């Protein structure tokens, strides 16, 4: 793939936001001098000020600091679970769609079973088995989300596999693995990236939901989803509290989405003029 085309505004936005977020996740101490977990009962639920740019939370911790330190957990859960879901879901979808028949039926019915479980119930189950930690949160949310990848990929494969170039591939002696991963998969990329950015947002919110019942990132460790969850309790006294995590989730989801568009354009020769 050649990178010789004009870079769009959305691509720049995506790279800037994701770059900053990655820096925040890797080196949070560069961005703030506060400690994210030490309470300060002198300044509880204070509005934005010179000392605390985004105000303080219910035990007087700096919200900006918690936002920055929460990036790592949030991104690990959000991106990690989507990556894992993609890693499991995409091959299943490819196989189900391409081979069809009984295999397709078996795979898709099992995935339907996964989808028919309420996400929370499934999450509680996984966390009960594997304990409460970031990896098990990733696993939990991936378990909830991977059938969605399979479905999208399968439906794409179903329409692609009877296209003549797939038939031509076989007529030129290509192996099934080649057709699956080199012919069909690249043609599914745009659908996959859209799904990926949507599910990343969902994952961040599922983590918030899990925090609500005490199964998410455990306090006092910060995460955007749980911050959003707690801020609801103080909506009338400290309305600024919820804005910061909301905006961050929004920006990241948007950036992942734009990054998906960038990837799609990179793979789409129609746009390479």
Partner 1 sequence: MAEKILEIRELETHFFSSRGVAKAVDKVSYSLKRGEILGVVGESGCGKSVTALSVLRLIKPPGGKIVGGEILLDGVDLLKLPEREMRKVRGNRISMIFQEPMTSLNPLFTVGDQIMEPLMQHRGLSKKEAKEEAVRMLAAVGIPSPEKRVNDYPNSMSGGMRQRVMIAMALSCNPEVLIADEPTTALDVTIQAQILELMKKMRDELGTAIIMITHDLGVVAEMCDRTAVMYCGSAVEEGPVHEVFKAPSHPYTRGLMMSIPKLTEESDRLYNIKGSVPSLFHLPEGCRFADRCEFCTEKCKKETPPVEYVGPNHTVKCHHWRTLERFSDERR
3 binds partner 1 (CB under 8 A): no
- Binding piece for partner 1, criterion CB under 8 A, among 106-114, 203-211, 232-240, 265-273: 265-273
Decide whether 104 or 207 has the Cβ nearer to partner 1. Answer: 104
The HSE-up count of residue 197 (CA atoms within 13 Å, CB side) is 22
CB of 174: closest distance to partner 1 in angstroms?
A: 7
Residue from 159, 163, 237, 250 binding partner 1 (CB under 8 A): 163
270 binds partner 1 (CB under 8 A): yes
165 binds partner 1 (CB under 8 A): yes
159 binds partner 1 (CB under 8 A): no
Decide whether 42 or 162 has the Cβ nearer to partner 1. Answer: 162
Distance, CA of 71 to CA of 21 (rounded, Å): 7
CB of 30: closest distance to partner 1 in angstroms?
A: 40
User: How many CB atoms within 10 Å of residue 81?
Assistant: 27
173 binds partner 1 (CB under 8 A): yes
Q: With contact defined as beta carbons under 8 Å apart, do 105 and 112 qualify?
A: no
Distance, CA of 10 to CA of 258 (rounded, Å): 6
5 binds partner 1 (CB under 8 A): no
Q: Smallest Cα–Cα separation from 114: which of 151, 157, 143, 83? A: 143
Q: What does the per-residue mask of binding to partner 1 show for 179-198, with x meaning CB under 8 A?
A: ----x--xx-----------
DSSP letter at 184 equals I
Q: With contact defined as beta carbons under 8 Å apart, do 90 and 147 qualify?
A: no
Distance, CA of 253 to CA of 256 (rounded, Å): 5
Across the chain, how many H-helices and E-strands are there?
A: 10, 0
118 binds partner 1 (CB under 8 A): no
Give the binding site for partner 1 (CB under 8 A). 101, 163-165, 167-175, 183, 186-187, 267-270, 272
């Amino acid at each position: 793939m050649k990178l010789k085309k004009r870079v769009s505004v959305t691509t720049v936005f995506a790279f800037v936001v994701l770059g900053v977020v990655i820096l925040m996740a890797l080196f949070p101490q560069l961005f703030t001098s506060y400690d994210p977990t030490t309470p300060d009962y002198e300044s509880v639920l204070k509005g934005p000020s010179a000392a605390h740019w985004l105000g303080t939370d219910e035990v007087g911790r700096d919200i900006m600091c918690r936002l920055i330190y929460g990036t790592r957990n949030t991104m690990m859960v959000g991106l990690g679970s989507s990556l894992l879901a993609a890693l499991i879901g995409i091959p299943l979808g490819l196989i189900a769609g391409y081979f069809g028949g009984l295999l397709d039926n078996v795979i898709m019915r099992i995935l339907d079973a996964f989808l028919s479980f309420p996400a929370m119930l499934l999450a509680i189950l996984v966390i009960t088995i594997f304990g409460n930690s970031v990896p098990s949160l990733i696993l939990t949310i991936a378990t909830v989300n991977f059938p969605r990848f399979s479905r999208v990929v399968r439906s794409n494969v179903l329409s692609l596999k009877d296209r003549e170039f797939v038939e031509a591939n076989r007529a030129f002696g290509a192996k099934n693995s080649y057709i699956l991963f080199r012919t069909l998969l690249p043609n599914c990329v745009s659908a996959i990236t859209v799904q990926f950015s949507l599910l990343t947002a969902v994952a961040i919110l599922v983590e918030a939901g899990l925090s609500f019942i005490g199964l998410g990132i455990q306090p006092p460790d910060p995460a955007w989803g749980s911050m959003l969850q707690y801020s609801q309790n103080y909506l009338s006294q400290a309305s600024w509290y919820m804005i910061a995590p909301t905006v961050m989730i929004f920006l990241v989801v948007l950036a992942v989405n734009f990054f998906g568009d960038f990837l799609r354009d990179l793979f789409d020769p129609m746009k390479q003029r």
